[in-house]
Amino acid sequence: LYRVPGIRLFMVAVADIRAGGRQSDSQYQYTLLSTDLDLLTKWAPIVGKRMETVEGITDVSSNRDPGGLQLTLKIDRQAASRLGVRVQDIDNALNNAFSQRQISIMYSQRNQYMVVLETDPRFQTDPTNLERVFVAGTGGTQVPLSAVVHYERGLSPLGVFHTQSLISTTVSFNLLPDVPLQVATTNIQRAVDELHMPEGIRGTFDGNAGDFNKASGRQPLLILFALVAMYIVLGVLYESLAHPLTIISTLPSAGLGALLALLVTNTPLTIIAFVGIILLIGIVKKNGIMIVDFALEAERQHGLSSAEAIFEACRVRFRPILMTTMAALFSGIPLVIATGPGTELRRPLGITIIGGLFVSQILTLYTTPVIYLLIDRMRRRRDNPGAVVVAPAE
């Protein structure tokens, strides 16, 4: 097919999730918006050519098809004034000839019918039939349309698309293998900014690329809100403002493990990977809750010191923590080693779960007691400023 003039072939992978945007030749989209069709027609091919030079992307195409034929009528105002033809009369003549204008309504006993004036469809497709259109002139004379207008043939888009009530053109693209979407969008935005487009036109990512950029910007805020909500709930549960920090302190190790796993496996940080990190927050937080909950109960119910309580909590809770962590970790292995359609979507989820749980399992049992004792010591000093806190002998 490449040998046939005018044909461009695109191989499009089936997307696991396709969000928004419009149908295009490629998976990701960059949309140009403007209120001026001429300005958009001028800059759309320039942006498309510039995107073809951006590293990391391929199959750049546009939904702009300028192959439509257009006939422009330019009024000779001097001739029209000399012949007594008004611009409104020219507009009415063209409206009567090539549109479908309602001129009357016919009423019957049971119904009513719209009377629509139009030219026979046989005469609507040939531009030479404009020679048969006449315009009312001075004194009721009929003036040929060709006497007051000039014809200019040209090209125009076959379709005019709209996005957010603005005229738009979509430039679509695919990613080369092993190129993260975030890197590609950054390179594209930098390349477009170098063009210095006028103020009347702007570009934005649409479809999957647009949703990824929006989600990437919201993810840190969502994680922050989750941590705040978690802190409030745990503070009410334990009647303490200090010990919820011990539980939250277990989360950085899980995030570090997830990012290291993605780095080692050369996997991009996608939306699905973000979902895995959020899932880790719940799983790893559970380990901290099991330790802190047992330690607080041992302090309050059995009168143990902080060091003795947290040591006993780690010893007793080690088995259930190990069992639940290994169950969740092994559940992520099929996501990583699976083959077939859709595995590219699920693999980052399994990698983040395995990496985050592996690192957090190693560090949690060591860091949680230290932070628990540190926070407890700070709390005691705040409650009793003059007291000296003596650590128990080993």
Q: What is the pLDDT of residue 394?
A: 47
pLDDT at 393 over 50: no
Q: Mind listing the pLDDT tens digit for each residue in 112-156? A: 998 888 878 777 777 788 888 888 888 778 888 888 888 888 777
How many Cα neighbours within 13 Å face the side chain of 294? 21
Average pLDDT on 307-334 reads 88
Q: What is the pLDDT of residue 37?
A: 83
Per-residue tokens: 387: 């007291």
For residue 374, the SS3 value is helix
Q: Mind listing the pLDDT tens digit for each residue in 68-112? A: 778 888 888 888 888 888 888 888 888 887 787 888 899 988 899
Task: Write down the H helix ranges in the chain.
Answer: 37-52, 77-83, 87-98, 181-193, 207-238, 243-248, 251-264, 271-302, 306-337, 343-383
DSSP string, 37-90: HHHHHHHHHHHHHHHHTSTTEEEEEES----EEEEEEEE-HHHHHHHT--HHHH
Q: What is the pLDDT of residue 145?
A: 86
Q: Mind listing the pLDDT tens digit for each residue in 152-199? A: 887 777 777 788 788 888 888 888 877 877 888 888 989 988 888 888
Angstrom distances, CA of residue 267 to CA of 79, 255, 358: 70, 15, 17
Task: Calculate the average pLDDT of the chain.
Answer: 81
Beta-carbon count within 10 A of 338 CB: 12
85 Cβ contact list (under 8 Å, min separation 6): 135, 136, 137, 143, 148
**Which segment, 9-18, 31-40, 378-387, is predicted with the most confidence on average?**
31-40
Q: Identify which has the larger pLDDT, 23 or 163.
A: 163
Q: Mind listing the pLDDT tens digit for each residue in 186-242? A: 889 899 888 888 888 888 888 777 777 776 667 778 888 888 888 888 888 877 788
Q: What is the pLDDT of residue 230?
A: 85
The residue type at 344: E
DSSP string, 135-191: EE-GGG-EEEGGGTEEEEEEEE-S--EEETTEEEEEEEEEEPTT--HHHHHHHHHHH
Q: What is the pLDDT of residue 18?
A: 57
Which of 11-25, 27-41, 226-240, 246-260 is least confident?
11-25
pLDDT at 329 over 50: yes
Instruction: Report the predicted TM-score, pTM, of the whole model to 2 decimal places.
Output: 0.60
pLDDT at 270 over 80: no
**Which segment, 1-10, 14-23, 345-354, 360-369, is predicted with the most confidence on average?**
345-354
Q: Mind listing the pLDDT tens digit for each residue in 284-309? A: 888 888 888 888 888 888 888 888 88
